[in-house]
Amino acid sequence: MSEPVTTNPFIIMLINMTVVFAVLIALGLVINLIHYVDPTKPKEEKEAPKAAPAAPAPAPAPVVEEGVPQEVVAVIAAALMSYGYGPQQIRAVRPIERNGWKRSGRTFGVTQTLD
């Protein structure tokens, strides 16, 4: 066998990284070429000028259960809108029944009694 060209790990790292990034750039170019030549893309035809779009319908107000303060509803709506949901997607704000703490306390009490 022949001797390696270099044993310096930094040179080997640079060569390997160059090869990897060259392959990634080549793949990116191939993907862009496929998007450009894509036969499944619908043909764009010349369109007549469109009429002005109609104003969207106002979003329905969410259903609020009794006992939920308006401030809580406002905070929940603001939090959901910060995640990208629109007012038309918030349909109801209602509390859910949770017995997790009650069940956890009972389980803890039983395990402490058995120990």
Mean pLDDT computed over every residue of the chain: 81
pTM above 0.75, yes or no: no
**Considering only CA atoms, which of 88, 21, 20 is closest in space to residue 59?**
88
- pLDDT for residue 28: 95
Main-chain phi, psi angles of 89, to 5 degrees: -90, -15
d(CA 18, CA 26) in angstroms, rounded, equals: 12
User: What are the tens digits of pLDDT across the range 23-68?
Assistant: 999 999 999 998 888 878 777 766 666 666 776 767 666 666 677 7
Q: Where is 93: in which H helix or E strand?
A: strand 92-93
Region 95-110 average pLDDT: 78
Distance (Å, whole) CA 17 – CA 7: 16
